[in-house]
Structure 1
């Protein structure tokens, strides 16, 4: 009996030692990633907030000016224009782009054959380099491009895709085509993870395809849809690459988003202090939106 009692502390100590070694080696493996994460993400964020209180001058040096950069943001007439365009861009992204991946994922999951080929075809646009993508869609949207040529064969008047009214919608259509494949694969993975017994039981009970989608598929991927919605809101709020490449914010500032205005302020006007203030302001707004979203989600789960 005494021998058994003496063995137990030794075994417990050995288990604790193995766990410590396991956590130690795991920590050593992730230290390089943590260091890179701090250097290339948090250090620029902190320095950006710091520089937002200065005028950046590479000749005479930096000078502390307090909140002057932040005040100049709200005094600039481009603030209202860029915020309005950004909100419009976000709304179009949700109305047009957000619903495409789950709908395609559900349709592909209901296929009895060719599911693998459909996944590959859907993902191909995401593999196209940006420079090729924008050049290709410039040709698509051209006055003598394939879209307008097809419309003319149907007797439909030529569309000016980069007019003030259609420019933002044209960019959203481009980005939806380019990015829906990756999100579709995420939704397909979530749908595949739903137990097939539930679908089989529903089929035995006579449930139609729409009833299976409505009462089984959609409730099962609801959390994922909310998460991807939040990510899309954050991503579209920072949209500027397509606007810069396709229209450079035009025509008449119709596609000038907040981040594109920030880019122009920094690299065209060379006002790095104001640009830092704009980036810091956007950073705090996105944090506030994320916190608000999490609070609303937790309140909804409790309800």
Structure 2
């Protein structure tokens, strides 16, 4: 086992796959010589050459479109959109081309492309560097949407994504790039920058796409979370002395519904947690599924805790994020409901 930050684990995943398969190429804005704005691709161009890791113009639609074309003709591009907020100009390419090409071609073509994007807030990036757009991808048939919460999962999930024959949206929580996050608001401003490392196997391994991880077992309530919110869930349960079963979804689409249902049927209560805005967020789909499959086992309504229904508030982002206090109130309300 090596010890790595999430940045190092993501870089190592690309390094492993580039070393194994010459069809794997990495490109995007500033990912070559500069090594990426967060340094996730640092050293890859020097190691593999400018034909395998290269810079692209500031044109997200062209980056994704070129990647789709390369993927349909045998390459396995792992491209970077510098911030998830910037992906919208390329959304038509992703939805109309990458997600549909297998079906439109009756299986003659696939699009084995990975689109990596830093997601979420926590770096005072403002409205155009801090959004959490996962729900707009989970709505699209033909895409797979992944969000790791730790270095081990980040490497294994990214390798699995690169090896997958269908397009994968790979969202990387910026607050977790440099180490685990303890979930507390009072420490949040500084903790995202700490270089805390997790244990990561060397070489090749995969984390299965579509399989959730039960982070903590419990009997009082099930908390469904992903990315940064896994740590907020842990902090809230700990601070309120609640025996919560915390599930890190890891894969939003495909979703591990069996793990969710088994947990909620055991606890009888559920809180759904995510950083994105509440209305039409992915939590709405999770809530509907829990209600559909676990109705007779529920002892209380399913509650969602999420970001505000406002444009991203730069000056108030640490209040916008669901924190232990807000999550704790929801947990108490669900657990105490009769």
Q: Shorter-normalised TM-score: what interval?
A: under 0.3
Structure with the larger strand share:
2
**Normalising by structure 1, what TM-score?**
0.23
Structure with the larger helix share:
1
**Normalising by structure 2, what TM-score?**
0.21
